[in-house]
Chains A and B, each alone.
Chain A
Amino acid sequence: MKDELSREEVLHVAELARISLTEEEIKKYQVELKKLLNEVEKINDVEGYDDEILIANWDSNAELRKDIAGDMLNPKEVLENAPRHAGNYIEVPVVISDGEGA
């Protein structure tokens, strides 16, 4: 098994995280990320491992919240925590592509 990721794999992960890396960092992460993956892969050695029970004990059904409205934040408080705002809107640098997300 190769003990490092390819340069492309590291750059792909960096792009998903929206970060830029120096040449030095790329080389460093090729090794470090591979080490992390190796650790995670150990889970495959667990006897009787089942993907379906990976997350939570599903005997304990989620307690559902009643549909009753509660307190909300004052818009002023919301805007105070944003670096910039325009009127009541939070302002961020323009995002080119549209309609991502949901």
Chain B
Amino acid sequence: MSNYIPTIGVEVHVELKTKTKIFSNSTNGYGQMANSLTNVIDLGYPGTLPTLNEEVINLGIKAATILNCKIRKVMHFDRKNYFYPDNPKNYQITQARTPIGYDGYVEINVNGESKKIYIEEMHIEEDTCKSAHRGTKTLLDFNRAGVPLIEIVTKPCISSGEEVKLYLEKLRELLSYGEISDCKIEEGSMRADVNVSIRKNETDPFGTKAEIKNIGSISNAKLGVEKEIERQTKLYDNGETFKPQTRRFDDKIGDTVLMRIKETGNDYRYFPEPDIPFVVLTDEMINNVVETLPMLPDERRKKYQELGISELNANKLVANRPLSDYMNTLLTEKTNHKIASNLLLGDISAYLNRTEKDIKETTLTKERFLELISLLEKETLTSKNLKDILDTVMESDTSIKDIIKEKGIENITDDTEIRNVIKEIISNNPDSVNDYHNGHDRAIKYLMGQVMKETKGKANPKLAMDILTEELN
């Protein structure tokens, strides 16, 4: 097979996390009984009028900000006209001419190098009803009709299935963190369509385009694109051509199949929606919304690494929002953040998984956590002993000092106490001391063992070793 240059663009629809629909006050919900979340507006009854949901505009501003888009301050909606049973009004209300965001980008990391995926525009629109085809019938559920959507359209700047995957993962992370959408592909709250064409040289015009729809997962998006590039390559290699077409990804065969040939462009006859006045955004409105954005994943990763947390742990923290939020409460604290991240991702995660709790449901306040870190850092508490007291630390209000005392596992960090024990051991073991001075390494280990035995394992090991070495010399 020859090598061609792929040109790929992605269109993503995400459902917004609002309480109500975009143009009506019926509930925006998933997994409910069919046709139970509707009213006359969603069903397109004659004489009804849409009213725009404020939260949709707010989430649009948030998404545009997160995706580094410019925000349009004066916008209107348009009618996209088509006859299809998923939309009984016979038009979808969308933003064709004045998308809320434009000229943005998302940064992905491809083999250690940063690449910007440019966003052409992102616009707000209503979802259609859900249709299921059964033999000679099509079944309609209007619960989804009027659910607010944002469609995000990239420029054709993506060059592989792997990049599509990285872009979708990044988009999902950003929109989830911004609390804009659940981004659950399996529930349809995030849907991706991918346009793929290939050409021989950069200077050639773009090749014929195939659009892949019905992609059920991010890994299928990658696979679908790779299969499509392969299919187009074979055709061109055999001297064949093909018509612009829509294909869908078939889970069962792991490949794309033809849905329809696009003979002509769609004729949607857009015109401005006369039932909704212009939306005019002020700087104040925009700032008020932007202020509510949480710290975004990339900034979190950067901050964590600046505080000495490894890249691996920084990524793991970001992947677990509740733990990352907890970590963020410690950012300005003078503490050992490395120990904090190890604890959160290690013993504390294990505890939370085992008890199916959220960290907020435990008694691990910030103050208690800082105390725990400090005890571990000073080695008053060993990581082994921590395991013995963790459940109590997470479930009771007893002070950590008292918990340690009750369990009798406090490390001896008192110099004099350890020194006295060591002096006694040295005088009781003259043979081992001699061996040590004759260069037998094992002797010091034996003597340390005696120290730990005498202190019932409570001597701070590092301190004990320092004093022992000092006393021996």
Q: Which residues of A contact B (CB under 8 A)?
A: 12, 16-18, 54-58, 60-73, 75, 78-79, 81, 86-95, 97-102
Contacts and interface: CB of A to CB of B under 8 A. Distances in A.
Interface string B174-216: 0000000000000000000000000000000000000001100
B214 A98 contact: yes
Interface in B362-377: none
B127 A89 contact: no
A66 B54 contact: yes
Interface string B109-145: 0000000000000000111100111111111111000
B382 interface: no
Interface string B40-73: 1001000000011111010000000000000000
A78 B33 contact: no
A78 to B, nearest CB: 5
Contact of B35 (A18, A60, A61, A89): A89
B277 A61 contact: yes
A91 B82 CA distance: 19
Interface of B: 13, 18-20, 25-27, 33-40, 43, 51-55, 57, 74, 76, 81-87, 92, 94, 125-128, 131-142, 149, 151, 213-214, 246, 248, 259-260, 267, 269, 272-274, 276-280
Contacts of A58: 74, 76, 277-278, 280
Contacts of A60: 277-278
Contact of B142 (A69, A78, A86, A92): A78
Contacts of A12: 267
A92 B304 CA distance: 55
Contacts of A91: 137-140
A65 to B, nearest CB: 4
Contacts, number: 162
Nearest to A90: B140
Interface centre among B35, B38, B57, B133 (most CB of A within 10 A): B35
A101 B136 contact: no
A44 B57 CA distance: 34
Nearest to B33: A88
A69 B27 contact: yes
A95 B131 contact: yes
A73 B277 contact: no
Nearest to B148: A67
A93 B25 contact: no
Contacts of B36: 72, 75, 88
Contact of B53 (A61, A67, A89, A101): A67
Given A18-B83, A56-B76, A90-B142, A102 B13 contact: yes
A73 B76 contact: no
B380 to A, nearest CB: 51
A97 B259 contact: yes
A75 B35 contact: yes
Contact of A68 (B20, B125, B142, B151): B20
B87 A89 contact: no
Top 4 nearest A-B pairs by Cβ distance?
Answer: A58-B278, A70-B25, A64-B54, A89-B139
Contacts of B248: 98-99
A45 B335 CA distance: 74
Contact of A99 (B87, B137, B149, B246): B246
Given A86-B139, A88-B33, A69 B26 contact: yes
Contacts of B84: 95, 100-101
B131 to A, nearest CB: 7
Contacts of B83: 16-18
Contacts of B82: 16, 100-101
Contact of B52 (A16, A17, A65): A65
Given A54-B272, A65-B25, A70-B25, A94 B92 contact: no
Contacts of A97: 259-260
Contacts of B43: 73, 78, 81
Nearest to B140: A90
A93 B136 contact: yes
Contact of A92 (B25, B33, B138, B214): B138
Contact of B135 (A68, A92, A94): A94
Contacts of A95: 84-85, 131, 133, 138
B39 A71 contact: yes
A62 B26 contact: no
Contacts of B128: 101-102
Nearest to A65: B51
